[in-house]
Amino acid sequence: MKICGASLAESLYDFPITILLFGELGAGKTTFIQGLAEGLGVQESLTSPTYALEQRYRGKTSLLHIDLYRLSKEEAQKLIGSTCDFDGIRCIEWGERIEMEVIEGSSIVIKIDEPKKDARELTITFNDIPFLSRDQIESWRAEVMLPQHICLHCDRVGAVAEQMAHALIEKGRITRPLALRQSGELHDLLRFMDFRSDASPPGIEESPQERCCWKRWKERYPDMQHEAACAAFLREKGFDALATIIEPHGLLSPSPPRHTTEQKILFYADKRVIVDRVVSLEERFEDFKKRYGRGKETPRHAEWFKEARATEKELFPEGVPF
Cα separation values, 158 from 62, 161, 176, 229, Å: 33, 5, 12, 19
Contact present, 89 and 19 (Cβ < 8 Å)? yes
Please name the helix (run of DSSP H) or strand (run of DSSP E) that holds residue 270, with its range, or none.
helix 261-270
Cα separation values, 182 from 70, 192, 227, Å: 42, 19, 15
Angle between helices 177-186 and 261-270 (to 10 degrees): 50
Please name the helix (run of DSSP H) or strand (run of DSSP E) that holds residue 147, with its range, or none.
none
> Which pLDDT value is given to residue 200?
58
Phi-psi region of 26 (alpha: psi -120 to 50; beta: other; left: phi over 0): left
Q: For the chain, what is the radius of gyration of the CA atoms?
A: 22
**Measured CA angle at 184 (ends 270, 207), to 5 deg:** 85
- Residues 103 and 110: their CA atoms lie apart, in Å, by 14
> Which pLDDT value is given to residue 197?
58
Q: Which fold has domain 2-127?
A: Rossmann fold (3.40.50)
Cα separation values, 118 from 5, 25, 37, Å: 17, 14, 23
Contact present, 152 and 276 (Cβ < 8 Å)? yes
- Residues 18 and 129: their CA atoms lie apart, in Å, by 13
Q: Is the pTM of this model over 0.85?
A: yes
Q: What is the pLDDT along the chain (322 residues), one digit of tens a residue?
A: 899 999 999 999 999 999 999 999 889 999 999 999 999 999 888 877 666 788 999 988 999 999 999 899 999 999 999 999 999 999 999 999 998 888 989 999 999 998 787 788 999 999 999 999 999 999 999 999 999 999 999 999 999 999 999 999 999 999 999 999 999 999 999 999 998 655 556 667 889 999 999 999 999 999 999 999 999 999 999 999 999 999 999 998 889 999 999 999 999 999 999 999 999 999 999 998 887 767 677 788 889 999 999 999 999 999 998 8
Residue 19 β-bridge partners: 91, 108
- CATH 3.40.50.300 domain range(s) in the chain: 2-127
- Residues 272 and 157: their CA atoms lie apart, in Å, by 8
> Which pLDDT value is given to residue 116?
81
- CATH 1.10.3210 domain range(s) in the chain: 134-315
- Residues 226 and 187: their CA atoms lie apart, in Å, by 9
Nearest one of 186, 192, 196 to 157, comparing CA atoms: 186
- Residues 169 and 188: their CA atoms lie apart, in Å, by 26
CATH 1.10.3210 fits 134-315, yes or no: yes
- Residues 124 and 174: their CA atoms lie apart, in Å, by 9
Residue 263 β-bridge partners: none
First to last CA, the chain: 26
Please name the helix (run of DSSP H) or strand (run of DSSP E) that holds residue 25, with its range, or none.
none
> Which pLDDT value is given to residue 177?
98
